Structure 1
Amino acid sequence: MDILLQLFEVRHLLMLVLGLCLGIAVGALPGLTPTMGVALTIPFTFSLGATDGLILLGGIYCGSVFGGSIPAILFNVPGAPASVATTFDGYPMAQKGKARKALELATIASFAGGVIGMILLVFFAPVLTEFSLAFGPTESFWIALFGITVIAVISEGGAAKNMLGGCLGIVLSFVGISTVTGTARFTFGIDSFVGGFHVVAVLIGLFAIPQAFRMIEDLSEGNQKIKRHKQTTASSIRQSFGDVLKRPKAVTIGSGVGALIGMLPGAGGNVASVLAYNEVRRFSKQKNAFGNGEKQGIIASESANNAMVGGSLIPLLTLGIPGSPTAAIFLGGLLIHGIWPGRNLFVEHADVAYTFIYSMILAQFFLLVLGLLLVTHIARLTSIPTYYLAPAILSLSIIGAFTTQNSLFDVYTALILGLLMFVLQKFQFSPAPIALGFILGKIAEEGLLQGIQIGTAQGSPWLYFFSGTWNLLLCSFILITVGIAVYRGLKNRANQQPTLEGKRAPDYWAVSGWFIAGALVIVCLVLLNSMPFELRIFPQLTFSAMLGFLLYKAVQAVKRPKERVSFTFDYSIVMCLVLVATLSFLTNLLGFYSQTFLLMLLVPIFVHLQKWRKLRPLHILFVSCLFTMALYAVFTLLLKVPVPIMPQL
């Protein structure tokens, strides 16, 4: 009762609501991840008491994980790594005019998953901690591979292309200092490569920037594309609650998988949401509906990544082992206030620990109310014209990439990856497998190398990797997932075979492209032989897998119909994209706010000059000034984060 009375003190409630509101804003802005939100807030907790500071940080953690679903649903841009799976069905539902419905489902599912995760934290922390400790390096290796194979099967496009994308993401994770050996590799003599690619910059480059370029590309197709996101279907909160309650399997599987994965050190919400999405899809009778606006997909993803929050706090509070990157930053917040996680936490600081834990349960109810109150207003963002929305997304992407490490290298990383992803999507490559490959590549390699070392010490690395209940179970899951992908491929080929009439010439361009890519991979494999074993073993496995998939695609190009490639040859659009990309790369010369202002002017003026839509120049100028000043108020005046500035002459 004393703890409950402390919890409902006015200052604690104010800190909780403030944290949730800030967290939602952080999650809704592309590039500002939950980890960054918590890290930016820690200095502001110095003057607060331990309880108030932890409640504020916890509110930001919960709110930002939920807030990441907002841009994922509305614009196909995950606001946080944990929201990648939400884009699979959330964005297609928004395209059908059901943005409000998708946001309501995400809010209610987030509440359900968050409550379940926090209840597990309160009542089952000791038991579940023992479960998380059972996962060693080999289990981490297999679960990382499972995540990559799952995302390859459930993403858009063919399984072979998705696996190629996953391997490409793993290759990106090799750049920089190895977490096991501490040795730099694949830096090519470039100092900026030593630190590797930051996950925020990579996610922005794979999702946000290509989406902005596609919006600009669609402008020439008239007002139908410009208005494609407008709300056309009414929704009610009661109906959305009913939709969630009618799908208990999605909530249960999503929350359970999210909480369990959250407890595994380093896994995080991105793995949890993808695995939960796959398992719900596996047990669904309407598998083909997933990826086209299926409600269960949104419910599974959002319940999983919010249940992950409670799960990640279990090993953090009981053992001092963070279950996610954000939980690792949260650990710093605990230590700053002189609180050491572990068994003594619930003895020496019982009032602080239990007040914080129960505040996280209360946060889910506040989050539900705030989310449902904001849904109507948030859904109106879909009515923003594309010629304003595209440059706004680009500007937020640039500042989001920069503020992660105050590095222009991250900005250029995001822009270059964005351009490459924009081209790859023309060939039906999906960004999700590349993103998950990059995130899980480090986990898989670390588990592989540690497993080899431990297995060698025990007499047999092979036996160490292929023994034990969890190892065998995860291996079985991987084989089942790959088997399903092969079965579907054979089934689709059988269905397409009767439609092919006569003998068709091979697609020589595609065959040549796949063989050239395969030759480059062979060269990489040969060059890798000069590296030490610890640095080359996992890259060699990855490049070997890539070579196999490339050869398969080459053979497929010989036997199957020509692949559909969707290139836009509208020279006016190409010119606009070139101008926008060039202006985006001039961040260091123009300064961020000047660049933002010019981007906001460039796209609508181009639309006006091409007579795709009649716009008023004064209106364009007003909107550009207003948006630039809003960014200045948020990032410079409020958050006080550094931004790229124009160099002094």
Structure 2
Amino acid sequence: MDIFQLFELHHLLFLVFGLLLGIFVGALPGLTPTMGVALTIPFTFSLGPTEGLIILGGIYCGSVYGGSIPAILFNVPGAPASVATTFDGYPMTKNGQGRKALELATIASVIGGLFGMILLLFFAPVFADFSLRFGPTESFWIALFGITVIAAISEGSVTKNMIGGSIGILLSFIGISSITGTTRFTIGMDSLVGGLHIVAVLIGLFAFPQALRLIEQLPLKEKEKSKEFSVGKQTVKASFMDIIKKPKAVSIGSGLGALVGMIPGAGGNIASILAYNEVKRFSKNKRKFGKGEKKGVIASESANNAMVGGSLIPLLTLGIPGSPTAAIFLGGLLIHGIWPGRNLFVENADVAYTFLYSLLAAQLVLLVLGLAIIKPMMKLTRVPSEMMAPVILSFTIIGAYTTQNNMFDIYTVVFLGLTMFFLQKYGFSPAPIALGFILGPIAEQGLLHGIQVGGANGNVVSYFFTGSLNIILFCLVLITVIFSLFQSFSLKRDLKVLSVLKSITWKGFMSIRAIRWLFAAGINVWLIYYVFQMEFQQMIFPLITLLFLLFFIFVEYVNSLFVTTQPNKPKKHLKSKDQGIILSLLLSISILMLLTTVIGFYFQVLLLMIIVPFFAYFKNWKNTKPRTIVVTAILFTLMMYIVFAVVLRVPL
């Protein structure tokens, strides 16, 4: 009977409404699936348990998929789980295959989601027992595996990727330690006691720098940028065939996504990263990844959507959430008087099974909705960069603030965004920093809990290296490290050792490049001294991270001594006078974003929507008409007011 209840008209309407709202939430930078579910729970109070859960399930599924849209079109992950989608999704857009990438992401998301939901529906009790086998040591090794993957999946220098990952881990230490309950790395600032929020960090690393790059490119001729935002013409049938003919990517993504989803606390970010890495590992053309490889998009999106079903397995059967969003979902269940556990499918069988069938049907509805919105979504790529940049900036402000209603999150976005904007000019990627920030706390908690439990059992070392799961995960970490080192050396195999050694000069030791790395090493040594003042439990993982960071800095310092290994210099596309003007504009906009409490959010949005395009117009960089600029600015500000002040009632 339960499956027929799903086809009642009001249930279908609730499902479609939840999916559309979820896609909208996921597509907006800063509005994560967790936030979407949390904001919707109060609106389900007046509904019955079945209707409320159907809406929440639709939002969960839709928002995870929706995060791929800005990730592919603008290199801005709409959700943490979409970080890996940017690796190949945005390069496909720059290559004129944006529509193709969205089609692949939609189809892969549905296949991965169906796989996860089928496991949830038919095999939940079996896999729930498996998820209980993941203790602190298993969590430590899988987080460490994700961290070591950083070097393998990201483009550019392996050491720079590892430096970025280490920086991300260090950023995650700021605030109150979850183990000791005391503060660290707060440098006496009360605002840092709560730590850096993951949404603010992701927006600062991806969305804010992307908006600054769009502004930086304003003086360029339109034809130089036309390919980057080409709509492209593809067919859905061809995209289906791409996945069917090469099922390895979607199979690995779906399997790993569901598996990682069952691990309490892991989440879709780890699932998509690990799936991307494994697909790249088993690919014959590894160098295509990061340059628009279809398999990268397929693996990432199938994994983070399969995670949804996987994360609900331990939640519904054991009451243990498998992801942050599933933890919020638990609150929704309890509010409606439904207690998870084995009795759920006995005492509330009608609600439980209708909900599960709705999640299965949600994937099929998502396929229709996702493919239907691709064409209108592609029109966003035609929006002039002088208009798109302030739109992205406006969403970064609202996305950062609405997470905790905290102005400090906006300051975090601006500071990290400016830093990342300049770091990218010298070969650093935001992805390793983001992954380090996400995985660092999981690895530290697993390490410290493992030390405590192992010490109580009499042998810490054997506790970490015994058990089939520990051994398998340790071997994966070891293989990934060896693979990364081999990859690093193979890229330089054509260099002759003697010629490289002869290229070292005494001037190289005191070059600007070398001095920069010496300065970084000095800061690192000071941090090591600072860490030694902490208690053992507080200092152990930061100390390990800093020692590895010092090693990678030393490697880059040695590289800076060679004439043949020049660092990545900023690409000079602009005239010297334009560079100075653009830099002044970027700094002015950054300052304006810090003045939210002074001038108000909506007036700030209006100013951004007017200043950037008018500046480009008066400099003769773009020819958008002044009347169009003013009307667009007013309408967009009004839309923001209606959505966030009237509908969502965000306290701005």
TM-score range, shorter chain: over 0.9
Farther-moved stretch of structure 1 (526-535 vs 554-563) = 554-563
For 2:557, the aligned partner's letter is: A
* Displacement after TM superposition at 1:230 (Å): 3.4
| Contact 2:231 2:378 (8 Å CA) reproduced | no
Matched with 1:443 is 442
Q: Does 1:563 align with 2:557?
A: no
Distance in 2, matches of 1:130 and 1:6, equals 30
Aligned to 2:555: 552
1:267 paired residue number: 266
Deviations 1:212-260 (A, max 9, x none): 1111111112213443433353101111111111121111100000000
**Corresponding residue of 1:424:** 423
Counterpart CA distance in 2 for 1:561 and 1:231 is 35
**Which segments of structure 1 move beyond 3 Å, counting only runs of 4 or more?**
496-505
Counting only pairs closer than 5 Å after superposition, residues 194-213 of structure 1 correspond to structure 2 as 194-213=193-212
**How far off its partner does 1:574 sit?**
1.1
**2:480 corresponds to 1:481:** yes
SS of residue in 2 equivalent to 1:566 = coil
Question: 1:34 offset after TM fit, Å?
Answer: 0.2
Contact 1:229 1:383 in 2 (8 A): no
User: What is the distance in 1 between the residues matched to 2:180 and 2:48?
Assistant: 40
Instruction: Tell me if structure 1 keeps the 8 A contact 2:269–2:304.
Output: yes
Deviation by residue 1:346-369 (Cα, 9 ceiling, x = unmatched): 110011111100100000000000
Report the Cα distance in structure 2 between the residues aligned to 1:373 and 1:498, rounded to whole angstroms: 56
2:218 match: secondary structure: helix
Query: Corresponding residue for 1:289?
Result: 288
1:599-636 CA deviation, whole Å, 9 max, x = no partner?
11111111111111223211111111111111111111
The CA RMSD over aligned residues, in Å, is 1.4
- The Cα shift of 1:562 comes to 2.1
1:583 equivalent among 567, 573, 592: 592
Between stretches 226-235 and 277-286, larger displacement belongs to 226-235
**Partner residue in 1 for 2:503:** 503
Counterpart residue type for residue 512 of structure 1? I
Q: Which blocks of at least 5 consecutive residues in structure 2 are unaligned?
A: none
- For residues 11-47 of structure 1, give each alpha carbon's deviation from its aligned partner in whole angstroms, at most 9, with x where no partner exists: 1111100000000000000000000000000000000
1:446–1:380 CA distance, 2 compared to 1 (3 A): same
Is 1:541–2:550 an aligned residue pair?
no
Greater Cα offset, 328-337 or 494-503: 494-503
Matched, 1:613 2:622: yes
Match of 2:130 in 1: 131
Does the 8 A contact of 2:99 with 2:231 survive in 1?
no
Q: Contact 2:57–2:359 at 8 Å: present in 1 too? A: yes
- Deviation per residue, 1:197-226 (Å, 9 max, x gap): 110000000000001111111111221344
In 2 relative to 1, CA 552–577 (structure 1 residues): closer, same or farther, beyond 3 Å?
A: same
User: SS of the residue aligned with 1:77?
Assistant: coil
Aligned identity (percent) is 59
Check conservation: 1:218, 1:225, Cα contact below 8 A.
no
SS at match of 1:124: helix
Measured against aligned partners, the alpha-carbon deviations of 1:522-567 in whole angstroms (never above 9, x if no partner) come to 1211222221111111111111111111111111211342212206
1:140 aligns with 2:144: no
Match of 2:613 in 1: 604
2:436 & 2:595 partners in 1: Cα distance? 30
1:229 is paired with a residue whose SS is coil
| Counterpart secondary structure, 1:394 | helix
Q: 1:227 aligns to what?
A: 226
Cα drift, residue 504 of structure 1: 5.3
2:523 corresponding residue in structure 1: 520
CA contact (8 A) 1:137 1:450 kept: yes
Deviates more, 1:345-354 or 1:516-525: 516-525
Paired with 2:634 and 2:303, the residues of 1 have a C-alpha distance of: 40
CA contact (8 A) 2:387 2:613 kept: yes
Instruction: Report if the CA contact (8 A) 1:51-1:352 is conserved.
Output: yes
* SS of corresponding position for 2:219: helix
Partners of 1:307 and 1:108 in 2: CA distance: 12
190 and 97 in structure 1: CA distance in 2 versus 1, 3 angstrom threshold: same
Distance 2:518 2:482 in 1: 26
Cα deviation for residue 461 of structure 1 reads: 0.7
Output the amino acid matched with 2:275: A
Q: Tell me the equivalent position of 1:18.
A: 17
Q: Give the superposition deviation at 1:152.
A: 2.3
Q: For each residue in 1:428-460, what CA deviation from the matched residue of structure 2 results, as whole angstroms up to 9, or x when unmatched?
A: 111111111111111011001000000101111
Compared with structure 1, are the counterparts of its residues 598 and 226 closer, same or farther at alpha carbon in structure 2 (3 Å cutoff)? farther
Bigger shift: residues 4-13 or 180-189: 180-189
C-alpha distance after superposition, 1:398-457 (max 9, x if no partner): 000000000000111111110111111111111111111111111011001000000101
> Following the alignment from structure 1 to structure 2, what is the Cα–Cα distance between the partners of residues 358 and 152?
40
Aligned partner of 1:628 in structure 2 is 637
1:494 Cα offset (Å): 2.0
Task: Name 1:646's counterpart in structure 2.
Answer: none
| Correspondence list, 1:361-510, <5 A | 361-497=360-496, 503=503, 505=505, 506=508, 508-510=511-513
**Cα offset, 1:283, TM superposition:** 1.0
Change (3 A) 1:503 1:189: closer
Gaps of 5+ in 1: 644-649
Residues in 2 aligned to 1:237 and 1:486: alpha-carbon distance in whole angstroms: 40
Counterpart residue number, 1:647: none
Which residue identity lines up with residue 556 of structure 1 in the other structure?
N
Change (3 A) 1:457 1:504: closer
- Paired amino acid for 2:641: Y
Query: Does the CA contact (< 8 Å) of 1:219 and 1:225 recur in 2?
Result: no
Q: Distance in 2 between matches of 1:614 and 1:499?
A: 55
The amino acid of 2:503's aligned partner reads K
The offset of 1:503, in angstroms, is 3.3
Pair 1:38–1:499, CA change in 2 (3 A): farther
C-alpha displacement at 1:336, in angstroms? 0.2
- 2: CA distance between counterparts of 1:233 and 1:173? 40
1:119-158 deviations in Å (ceiling 9; x for gaps): 0001111111111111110111111111111122211221
Corresponding letter in the other structure for 1:519: G
CA contact (8 A) 2:28 2:70 kept: yes
SS in 2 for 1:545: helix
1:574 matched residue in structure 2:
583
Provide the rounded CA distance (Å) in 2 between the counterparts of 1:512 and 1:138.
40
Report the Cα distance in structure 1 between the residues aligned to 2:223 and 2:476, rounded to whole angstroms.
Answer: 44
Distance in 2 (CA, whole Å) between partners of 1:264 and 1:232 is 39
Work out the CA distance in 1 between the residues paired with 2:125 and 2:166.
Answer: 37
CA distance in 2, matches of 1:364, 1:429: 37
1:9-48 equivalence runs, <5 A: 9-48=8-47
Provide Cα deviations, 1:556-596, integer angstroms capped at 9, x if missing partner: 21134221220665112112112211211111111111011
Counterpart for residue 640 of structure 1? 649
Measured in 2, the distance between the counterparts of 1:290 and 1:614 equals 37
